[in-house]
């Protein structure tokens, strides 16, 4: 049977790596460092996947450009305090990526991280060679704008109907919809199964590695 997709695009945080708790912690540290109210857990999770600029604006409406810059810097310092490595990838993710590559799929990453942040993460997990293309929020439009996916498809030469987006946030699901790309939600990260299902993914999986059971 001919497979349906050729290009699989993964979000990073909460999809491939178990980092959501640390991101929430880092957002709270940034708020405290800048004298702003401590964000609720649900609110902090709700901005994960956006660019840092968009996330800070959503968490703290009305902040000035200077306050936003201070928040971003404080967040980056807090996040960098923890050394991430391969052991922070979700169980089975590395084998899954290797298997997908072996089956001939092209793999990509579309993330709300900065380019520097993603490069550090790829280096720390030694996974950079697995992905043909990566896009970050500070070099293109933030999710849920479709530009990340459109650029990835343009660079790889695959059409929307041959592309599949995998993500843990509603921003991933919205981006896929805006790009007319099918999506699979994974309820192991920022948003709940119920929240993801509101955006009509093909499937909503408990873990990312279950993708191997539903690919055709």
Beta strands 163-167 and 7-10: pairing type?
parallel
- 1 vs 15, which has greater pLDDT? 15
Q: Chain-wide mean pLDDT for the chain?
A: 95
Could you tell me if residue 205 is inside a domain?
yes
Same domain? For 12 and 58 the reply is no
CB of 84 within 8 A of CB of 17?
yes
Same domain? For 117 and 209 the reply is yes
Total tally of structural domains belonging to the chain: 2
- pTM of structure: 0.93
β-partners of residue 164 are 8, 182
Domain boundary among 64, 80, 96: 80
Domain that holds residue 25: 20-80
β-partners of residue 48 are 50
Residues with catalytic annotation? Answer: 11, 13
CB of 101 within 8 A of CB of 132?
no
Total H helices, total E strands in the chain: 10, 6
Same domain? For 122 and 147 the reply is yes
CATH number at residue 196: 3.40.50.1000
Digit-coded pLDDT (tens) for 124-170: 999 999 999 999 999 999 999 999 999 999 999 999 999 999 999 99
């Amino acid at each position: 049977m001919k497979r349906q997709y050729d290009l699989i695009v993964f979000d990073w945080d909460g999809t491939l790596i178990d980092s959501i708790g640390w991101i929430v912690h880092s957002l709270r540290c940034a708020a405290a460092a800048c004298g702003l109210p401590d964000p609720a857990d649900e609110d902090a999770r709700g901005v994960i996947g956006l660019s840092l600029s968009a996330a800070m604006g959503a968490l703290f409406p009305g902040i000035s450009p200077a306050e936003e810059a201070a928040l971003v810097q404080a967040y980056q310092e807090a996040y960098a305090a923890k050394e991430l490595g391969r052991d922070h990838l979700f169980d089975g993710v590395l084998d899954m990526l290797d298997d997908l590559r072996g089956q001939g799929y092209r793999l990509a990453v579309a993330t709300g991280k900065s380019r520097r942040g993603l490069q550090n993460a790829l280096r720390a997990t030694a996974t950079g060679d697995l992905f043909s293309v990566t896009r970050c929020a500070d070099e293109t439009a933030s999710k849920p704008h479709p530009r990340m996916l459109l650029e990835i498809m343009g660079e790889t030469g695959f059409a929307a109907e041959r592309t599949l987006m995998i993500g843990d946030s509603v921003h991933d699901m919205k981006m896929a919809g805006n790009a007319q790309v099918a999506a699979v939600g994974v309820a192991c990260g920022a948003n709940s199964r119920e929240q993801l299902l509101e955006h009509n993914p093909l499937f909503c999986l408990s873990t990312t590695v279950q993708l191997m059971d539903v690919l055709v």
